Structure 1
Amino acid sequence: MSSASNSSDDDRPLGAAHGRPNGHYPNGNGHVSGQRPLSSMSEDEDEDMPLAAPPRNLKRKKPVYAESSDSEDDTPLAASPAKLATSAAIPMPGAVQATTVPASSVNGRGKAKGKAQSSDDEYDEDDASKRKGAAGKKPAKKKMKQDTPAASGSDDDEPIAAKKPSAPRKRKVKVESDADSDDDKPIAKKTAAKKPRASKVKKEEAESDDEPLKSKKAAGKKKKEEVDANGSPVKGKGRKKKEEEEEEVFRWWDADANGDGSVKWETLEHNGVIFPPPYEPLPVHVKMKYNGKDLDLPPASEEVAGFYAALIESDHAQSAQFNKNFFEDWKTVLKKHPPRDGTKVTSFELCDFRPMFEYFEEEKAKKKALTSAEKKELKRVKDEQEAKYLTCLLNNHKEKVGNFRVEPPGLFRGRGEHPKKGCLKFRVRPEDITINIGKNAPVPVPNMPGKWKEVIHDNTVTWLATWTENVNGNHKYVFLAASSSLKGQSDMNKFEKARELKNHIDRIRQNYNADLKSKVMADRQRATAMYFIDKLALRAGNEKGEDEAETVGCCSLKCQHVTLEAPNFVIFDFLGKDSIRYYNRVPVELQIFKNIRIFKENKNDDDDLFDRVNTTGLNKHLQSEMKGLTAKVFRTFNASITFQRLLDENALENATLQEKLNAYNKANREVAILCNHRRTVPKTHDQSMEKVRDKLRALKYDRMKLRHVLFKMDKKFKKHEEYIEDESDIDDEWIIGHEEGVKAKDIEKAEKKFKQENEKLEEEGQKPQKPSVLEERIADIEADYQVLVKERGTGLAELKKEKPVEKLQELIKKLTEKISAAKLQIIDRDEGKEIALNTSKINYLDPRITVSWCKIHDVPVDKLFSKTLRVKFPWALEVEEDWKF
């Protein structure tokens, strides 16, 4: 098989392995990877070999299956497969039922003409060609890729090699295999050219991605209600009254898109990249120890030791592989820059990095203890230094630049059980970087001594700068930000390509179903792989080298990864992207079951299941079925159409806002499970859940007090059903702790307010208030607290200010609604603890589905899309209410 691999790396935390006595303490959180070694892929055999396997020595006993026939002929099976059900182990809902769509159901704008092609969205490690296999190579020209470092989890396919373009103007482009967004696709041309027009929109305030926002009425409910740029109503209470700046937004989706696959821009001017500051040696009294004695290191060696010292209490330093790779690379540095006292460092176990770690922790504490004014000043200085790198001029339009910061040197962390984690990432210098600008644009000047490796003027690619990192030899790129026109056009084309698949899916399924019984082994294997890619949303998969993480996709499955269970169940168990385990027990058609049995015969566990299929060949076939079709398009199509179906199934006419949000998140979770977007449970999950439960108990406490006031006013309310519910999870011990906590917060607020009032008085030239004023306020708080103490266990309560019965009833009703919403929120958060919802939102779910659903159900878009996503998908925010994927 041809190699089309490219490792997908980032700096996500790794699971713990074995600890070492090097100044750090094992945390006890052992990580069981479940990873098994994968052998190299077997060579392709004759494609036209008949289905029957050639005589050879049996390597394992032939299993016996409960089938009506043992024969290997291609007689159509009479029995119909059972109705597909959800997996008993890890459910993959909607993988089969939702993916058959008639062509007549297509609704929306014209189809994009660009090829679907993946691009890298990770910003991991950087360096020029200083390690194995990286020296002297000029990076291939690349098109647009995701620019921002992945968070949390960016998850995508191993893309398939691109089909050779037929048009003479199109360029052959190397395909990166670990990308999330399809930013390398040609931009589609619209039928009629329009003049770009700019509209002024208000800047939105940053909002949290996870925390729910306060409830507000949907946009358009009232004629006079103020709305923001996304159609969401602007909050009134609690919002700071200040003038919002206005900025021009280039409405590229209304302009003529340049989609010929070659020229991407006419003019490009930018300021290059910003390099990290040089290393500052540690104070003379801070030294690591070797064999119990201080080790006097020169700056170059000390810097690398510091990289490890900063991590000694993290999971990374508990990994034997991480420690081994670090020590090997550090010893190489020590040969060039040996300790000044002549000490020979030969044993990792004798190294004690804790003095350096403690110094770093002290510096962190000092930085944290800075006053607000000092922090603001530091931020101001940093912002001034970076200001000129933030934007560029593309075709005379100001566009934001994405990852313009060159990553500092450090230790490579990788994803999952990556074999190179712990390796040293070298410092990137100007001599390592190629700059791409317009011919007439001034060449940017580096912010550190040195000259660029090369300055080119290639307007057929969209990167601004590139270099080669040393650990894996990957090419790194600087692109425009996710909100830029080129990135937005690529996103829109990607989802339009997935929608276009609706017109072809029935024919494609017919074709591969016919090939499931082909006499040609290669065709039968390809059809079976397509079945899994289509129905289970598996990634295509690529071959992996010896120095890459041992993860697999559909085409690179080994026999050990697939188990058959009569009568028609297939059990998948393998490590997918980012070393996330994929386990699924799924019923399949009997012909698929039979094919897998034939493919496994006379093979070892580490032999390829699809030994006559690779991603390149599969890609060529998919391109013949539909222009621009790749396995990633299948994933996007299946994810989006399943999501649309699940949302449409919910009847939410009289639902509360939280019920609507829960329904949306449930559908999002099911799609994430389908795409295997899993994550480890966050370490802070239990702590955050306890905070949410405390918030719920606090609401119940407030309602309990109001009920007691109401009952005191009129005992007949005790018999009303809506007031009968007691607070069973609020005991005396919790009440005492809660009331003391409330008192402490009130005193803290009083002290803070008193201080602010005095500062204001001093600014106005007036005398500050006497300390006795604060003492009186605190005394009032103490008195209120004593009242609460007396009320405990009596079932009686009173308010500072009397309220009429009707007002009390209204307040109790509002609290009851808040309690119901909080309960739903707890359920929603707990069910999603192992699911990465944002990966689907960012990469696989057409954003227009969400916007349309929000408009139908009067849900503010900012409840579901963070500001980052709203900026990323401005074209989707204008979709009509009746739009469907």
Structure 2
Amino acid sequence: MTNALSDEDVPLSQRKPSATSKVLATGKKRKSVTVKSETSVAHDDDHAPLKKKRATATAVAQTKAQSSGKEIKTEEKSAKSSASVKASPSPSKASGKSTKLNGNSKPTTEPDSDSDSDDKPLAKRKMKKADSKTEGEETSTQEKEEEEEEEFYKWWEAESNDHSVKWTTLVHNGVLFPPPYEPLPSHVKLKYNGMPVALPLEAEEVAGFFGAMLETEHAKNKVFQSNFFNDFKEILKQCGGSQLKIEKLEHCDFTDIFNYYEEKRAQKKAMTTAEKKKIKEEKDKLEEKYKVCFLDGRKELVGNFRIEPPGLFRGRGSHPKTGKLKERVMPEQVTINIGPNTPIPQPPDGHEWAEVKNDNTVSWLATWKENINGAQKYVFLAANSSLKGMSDYKKFEKARELKNHIARIRKDYTKELKDELMANRQRATAMYLIDVLALRAGGEKGEDEADTVGCCSLRYEHVAFKPPNTVVFDFLGKDSIRYYQEVKVDQQVYKNLKLFKKAPKKFGDQLFDRLDPPTLNRHLQNYMPGLTAKVFRTYNASKTMQDQLDKIENKGTVNEKYVAYNAANRTVAILCNHQRTVSKAHEQSVGKIEDKILEIKMQRYRLKLMMAQLDPEMKKSDPEYFQPDAELDDATIDRLIDQIVQREKDKVTKKFQKENEKRAAENGELLPESELKTRMKVVEELEAEYMKQRKTGKVDIKNGMTVEKLQAQIEKLTERIVNTTLQKKDKEDNSTVALTTSKINYIDPRLTVMFSKKYDVPIEKLFSKTLREKFKWAIESADANWKF
């Protein structure tokens, strides 16, 4: 093999694309609105900029959205009415047939096919028109709920229009800034060399950030301490505190500040239910107007409308900037994006916005730059909004489209692993690592950024070799999470990586010195429009999940199937390197589950004692059945009894206290202490029963109890033991793996919906309420036979 003669990639021969990427559904084209475009920062799980659907709004809605100068009210009925969209009938609807968003059915206007192609348009269904309400008409709660359900915008069933424009009208109330800093009491001071120091307010706030978390692991981290103190000294310098001569962190005493914030935390924890409720009501009232916006006349929830308060950056993993000051964001740093001829949200008194845009080609409502990494922050619509839903749908459909090209891509890069041109060989090797190991593409980092790398930015020191074909990868990935894997790779890939590391390369040098992500992505465009390295990660995660779910037998209990589903999810999370450190509470949490199992076994043993008392012959015929479980020795039983009794006492006491709190809030008469003693007698009777069992080996049997009833209860307890044991195993298996990231960002949600419907596992066990709202489109469109 000859060495590479050029640093330039040789492009692949021109190929005719095998398929054209299809959109959600074809609709009537509209003339694009010409505006200045703003490039947004792509999320890790996003692809090339995804186009959003522009919904058709009624003239009334547009007029109302553009002319109203009032704050948006969540209860505003007229806005709901104007949000109703009447879409023109689609061909499928006109023919009386419908299509599904499951990728397995062709539109009925096309010939029937058994193909599993993913090029399937959305169903075009006529939207239901909301019942109009005359002014002053009273609507019952039930009617309101029905109307809200009817008005839910099912974008996946609506006709798709021009994708270059995200909205026609947009009205919102801007962002919510954190409250101003509240100075510490005059007696609470930072001490330096044992002496109280009067800090300028700006510096006092920063000192409070560190003092409040004095006993955390973060504050004990040397990097955290160093970064904090450097920024603290800079703030002192800026606000005229240089004369204080605070030069060494070890001479600073934050104890008084820590105790002050600990006391405040304790006071908050000790608040009554009524006090907490009042605070929540005030908070909700303050946030109410920021929670919703009107997009083309439709009411949509806003996602992260709160500006993050200042504090100390923590970061994930071994982040080099941990402890640095997250500065307070001011209105002068925030750019607002809103519809033209629409009232601009008012900034806080005495302030102005950095800029006000009317860019309908982007979906963000506000943006600003944070100071830690210089990253652009955005306010988007909520996860369950139509725009975010369409973005998710397109992302997963793009990944599904890759399955039509993956065989050709793999064939080509396998061939190019031996290419004489070094640039091609590096590109092929990188594609192998991205495809097989699900590595991120990576990119160049500035000197002041975290030293995180991906495939294209791997350096000399990040790989080691174990013959015959094992490669040891050790580097910091996204969020400074360590990626350490010993992987057996293709023999040619092994040879190539050794070649890329060959002298004169040394520590710090790039392995892929003739490749970068843009070059790689341009090459991938030859195979499929919109294909980038990121799509491989979504594709492989979903494909792996599909393969794992196919291995699960449709038998056993719901809990057994749920554990099997989590095991499949865990395989994907490991592939994507979604690791986490074992939490401090993990051991305690597992211990509680173990105690719960022992308590159930003890309860089962009590029932067996009752059976033996009712029918002594049963014990004679099968004495082993009536023995306690091996774990239930005398010391364990005594501990469990004490534990159960104390827990019941705590329950009675807390319930009594809550009832009195409620009565006090309503100015009612408080329950006397004698009432608590009366209630506590039930617990004392339970304790007496346990003591009797320990002394005599007998248990009081309630009237009407029979052997048959006891057997039925024993069977239920045995099932609970099995289920709780599965829960414990699942918790232990997932202690170092984060399942949520892959479930939200990389696994097509329709796979989870398919599993739920095919295996009769409630979707509530698989998706939280938040995810059920986010993936409503998947829940309503996929069936038990859906395939990725």
Q: Same fold (TM over 0.5)?
A: yes
- How far did 1:175 drift? 6.3
Partners of 1:558 and 1:300 in 2: CA distance: 42
Note if contact 1:199-1:250 (Cα within 8 Å) is conserved in structure 2.
no
Partner of residue 176 from structure 1, selected from 21, 41, 54: 41
Q: Distance in 2 between matches of 1:335 and 1:716?
A: 88
Which residue number corresponds to residue 583 of structure 1? 484
- Kindly state the Cα deviation for residue 422 of structure 1 after the two structures are TM-superposed: 2.2
Secondary structure of 1:379's match? helix
Aligned to 2:432: 531
Structure 1 CA distance, aligned partners of 2:406 and 2:770? 33
2:767 partner amino acid: F
What one-letter code is carried by the residue in structure 1 that aligns with 2:397?
E
- CA spacing shift, 1:322–1:448, aligned 2, 3 Å: farther
- Correspondence list, 1:337-348, <5 A: 337-339=239-241, 343-348=244-249
Q: Deviations over 1:344-369 (max 9, x none)?
A: 22222211111111111111111111
Q: What stretches of structure 1 of length at least 5 have no aligned partner? A: 1-43, 51-102, 115-166, 201-241
Residue pair 2:473, 2:484 contacting (<8 A) in 1 also: yes
- For residues 466-615 of structure 1, the aligned pairs below 5 Å read 466-602=367-503, 603-615=505-517
String of CA shifts for 1:102-138, please: whole Å, max 9, x gaps.
Answer: x99x9xxx95479xxxxxxxxxxxxxxxxxxxxxxxx
Q: Is the 8 A contact 2:438 2:537 kept in 1?
A: yes
Moved more, 461-470 or 179-188: 179-188
Matches within 5 A, 1:83-482: 111-112=22-23, 174=39, 176=41, 179-181=44-46, 184-187=49-52, 194-197=125-128, 247-248=148-149, 249-258=152-161, 260=163, 262-339=164-241, 343-482=244-383
Query: Does the residue aligned with 2:205 lie in a helix, a strand or coil?
Result: helix
CA deviations over 1:748-772 (Å, ceiling 9, x no partner): 4455666788899999999988765
| SS of alignment partner, residue 639 of structure 2 | helix
Post-superposition offset of 1:723: 3.6
Shift of 1:833: 0.1
Q: Distance in 2 between matches of 1:333 and 1:409?
A: 13
Q: Which residue of 2 aligns with 1:216?
A: none
Sort the Cα spacing of 1:198 and 1:339 in 2 relative to 1 into closer, same or farther, 3 A: farther
Distance (Å, rounded) in 2 between the aligned partners of 1:471 and 1:763: 45
Residue by residue over 1:583-631, the C-alpha shift from the partner in whole angstroms, topping out at 9 and shown as x without a partner, is: 2222222222222222221121322111111111001011111111112
Write the distance in 2 (CA, Å) between the matches of 1:172 and 1:437. Answer: 13
Of 835, 849, 867, which residue of structure 1 is paired with 2:751? Answer: 849
Percent identity of the aligned residues?
A: 51
Residues 159-210 of structure 1: CA distance to partner in whole angstroms, max 9, x if unpaired? xxxxxxxx9999987463653345941137957855444799xxxxxxxxxx
Corresponding residue SS for 1:503: coil
Alpha-carbon distance in 1 for matches of 2:184, 2:663: 45
Shift of 1:335: 2.1
CA contact (8 A) 2:53 2:165 kept: no
Q: Residues 617 and 370 from structure 1, CA distance in 2 versus in 1: closer, same or farther, beyond 3 angstroms?
A: same
Offset at residue 336 of structure 1 (A): 3.2
Code of the aligned partner of 2:159: D
Q: d(CA) in 2 for partners of 1:868 and 1:770?
A: 42
Q: Structure 1 residues 317, 756: closer, same or farther in 2, change over 3 A?
A: closer
In the alignment, which residue of structure 1 is the partner of 2:593? 692
2:503 pairs with 1:638:
no
Spell out, residue by residue over 1:344-395, the C-alpha distance to the aligned partner (whole angstroms, 9 max, x if none): 2222221111111111111111111111111111111111011000000000
The AA in structure 1 aligned to 2:160 is: A
Partner of 1:708: 609
Q: 1:259 to 1:771 in 2, by over 3 A?
A: same
State the AA in 2 paired with 1:572: F
| Greater mean deviation of Cα atoms: 582-591 or 475-484 | 582-591
Kindly indicate whether the alpha-carbon contact (under 8 Å) linking 1:417 and 1:549 is maintained by their aligned counterparts in 2.
no
User: What one-letter code is carried by the residue in structure 2 that aligns with 1:630?
Assistant: T
Kindly tell me: are residues 793 and 831 of structure 1, through their superposed partners in 2, closer, same or farther at Cα, counting changes over 3 Å? farther
Q: Is the 8 A contact 1:276 1:407 kept in 2?
A: yes
Change (3 A) 1:800 1:606: same
| Separation of aligned partners in 2, 1:183 and 1:521 | 27
More helix per residue: 2
State how 1:804-883 maps to structure 2 within 5 Å.
Answer: 804-878=706-780, 879-883=782-786
- In structure 2, what residue type is equivalent to 1:401? V
Structure 1 residue 277 displacement after superposition: 1.1
Counterpart CA distance in 2 for 1:588 and 1:696 is: 44
Query: Is 1:669 paired with 2:629?
Result: no
Sort the Cα spacing of 1:871 and 1:199 in 2 relative to 1 into closer, same or farther, 3 A: farther
SS of alignment partner, residue 525 of structure 2: helix
Q: Which amino acid aligns with 1:857?
A: Y
**Inter-CA distance 792–516: structure 2 relative to 1 (3 Å threshold):** same
* Structure 1 letter corresponding to 2:359: D
Matched, 1:47 2:11: no
The offset of 1:450, in angstroms, is 0.8
- Tell me the secondary structure at the aligned position of residue 573 of structure 1: strand
In the superposition, relative to structure 1, how do residues 572 and 197 fare at CA in structure 2: closer, same or farther (>3 Å)?
A: farther
Cα offsets for 1:643-668 (capped at 9, x unmatched): 11111111132x01111011101111
AA at the equivalent of 2:448: D
Conserved in 1, the CA contact under 8 Å of 2:311 and 2:327?
yes
Stretches of structure 2 lacking an aligned partner (at least 5 in a row) = 11-16, 26-31, 55-120, 132-141
Give SS of 1:483's match: coil
Q: How does 1:728-739 map to 2 (within 5 A)?
A: 728-739=630-641
The alpha-carbon deviation at position 516 of structure 1 amounts to 1.2
Q: How far is the alpha carbon of 1:736 from its aligned partner?
A: 2.0
2:736 match: secondary structure: coil
What amino acid maps onto 1:648 in structure 2?
A: D
SS state at 1:180 partner: coil
Equivalences, count: 691
Change (3 A) 1:826 1:191: closer
Measured at CA, do residues 763 and 352 of structure 1 come closer, stay the same or move farther in structure 2, by a change above 3 Å?
closer
Check 1:505–1:874 CA distance in 2 against 1; reply closer, same or farther (3 A cut): same
Q: CA deviation at 1:672?
A: 0.6
Q: Secondary structure at 1:462's aligned position in 2?
A: coil
Q: Which moved more, 1:823-832 or 1:740-749?
A: 740-749
Distance 2:177 2:41 in 1: 25
Q: Which moved more, 1:744-753 or 1:848-857?
A: 744-753
Indicate if the aligned counterparts of 1:197 and 1:254 stay in contact, CA closer than 8 A: no
For residues 330 and 45 of structure 1, what CA distance do their matches in structure 2 show?
Answer: 53
Q: Residue 564 of structure 1: CA displacement? A: 2.4
Mapped partners of 1:680, 1:723: distance in 2: 42
2:507 is matched by which residue type in structure 1? Answer: D
Quote the Cα distance in structure 2 between the aligned partners of 1:524 and 1:410. 47
